[in-house]
Amino acid sequence: MKRLGLFFLAAVNAAAQVHFEQHPDRLSVTVDGKPFTEIIQGPQTRKPYLHPLRSASGKIVTRHYPMEKVDGETTDHPHHQGLSFTHADVNGYNFWASDASQIDAKSGLIRLKRIVSAQDGPRQGRAVMDYEWLDPAGKPILAERRTLVFQGGASERIIDFDAEFTALDKVVFGDTKEGTFNIRLASALQEDRSGTMVGATGCKTEKECWGTRGNWMDYSGRLDGEDLGIAIFDHPGNPGHPTYWHSRGYGLFSANPFGAADFRKGRKETAPATDGSLTLAKGGTARFRYRVLIHAGGTDAAALNKAYTAYATASN
């Protein structure tokens, strides 16, 4: 199937107007006047996240729960909210389990410091935010400058995520599978419904793909009568590239560069355990970049490899 390649080229040749609208607790993003997503970052949440994510045809590809309850959706893992970047072990503090029912003495908080800019554009829109990662006592341990670039075409939507971290003290991203750049997909896309997980290495389904490493992962299925998919690209400049994939058949779709020992153990690998943690000295920096491509049709590995190469080479 060659459809995806054509759709990706359409994104380049027929980019659409992107517009932001600011609200007290969120930024709304539209493409050619049609809703795309919202950046939720008000005091009601312990982490910023994007929800809902929509396809070019308007289908919502993220699960509504726990933001709202919809008949037929699953209600597990209430901390899986849209698209976010969080981790369960940063200096021993948990920024992953963010639901009110999970808060304890080890819970961290990611707080919006300021919206630096939100620029509309005829081909793309760019939003820049500063966040603080706070320990349970409210002390900032990480400063994050996050840039989100949105694009759209006739049959696809693209989000480029770029987060630059500065350690305000010594910071350790610990080795755990519970993280990191993640999307909770609509329940219709689960493997026990219509979904199929496919990786750049040729793996298929959670059984083959979970805990493996690769440049990209795609999750496709049938949603409200339409075949569509969502791919995550891991930038070659990221720490730990190619990333491990903490992607589950029940709809969690996550790139995690830190969980090497957890993933090796979970896959029952016999090779010596590898520590996947990342340490930043005070003042040290790290940068993480990903692309999310929401496309029409199913997975086409050849087209995704081409699209990945274009992303990787254009953004070095």
Q: What is the pLDDT of residue 314?
A: 87
Look up residue 25 and give its DSSP letter.
Answer: T
Could you tell me the CA-to-CA distances from 279 to 5, 89, 146, 174, 297 in Å, in that order?
Answer: 39, 12, 20, 8, 40
User: Could you report the per-residue pLDDT of 94-152, keeping only the tens digit for each?
Assistant: 999 999 999 999 999 999 999 999 999 999 999 999 999 999 999 999 999 999 999 99
User: Could you report the per-residue pLDDT of 41-95, keeping only the tens digit for each?
Assistant: 999 899 999 999 999 999 999 999 999 999 999 999 999 999 999 999 999 999 9
Domains of the chain: 3-314 (2.70.98)
Query: What string of DSSP letters covers 126-150?
Result: EEEEEEEEE-TTS-EEEEEEEEEEE
User: Could you report the per-residue pLDDT of 20-43, keeping only the tens digit for each?
Assistant: 999 999 999 999 999 999 999 999
Note if the pTM is more than 0.85.
Answer: yes
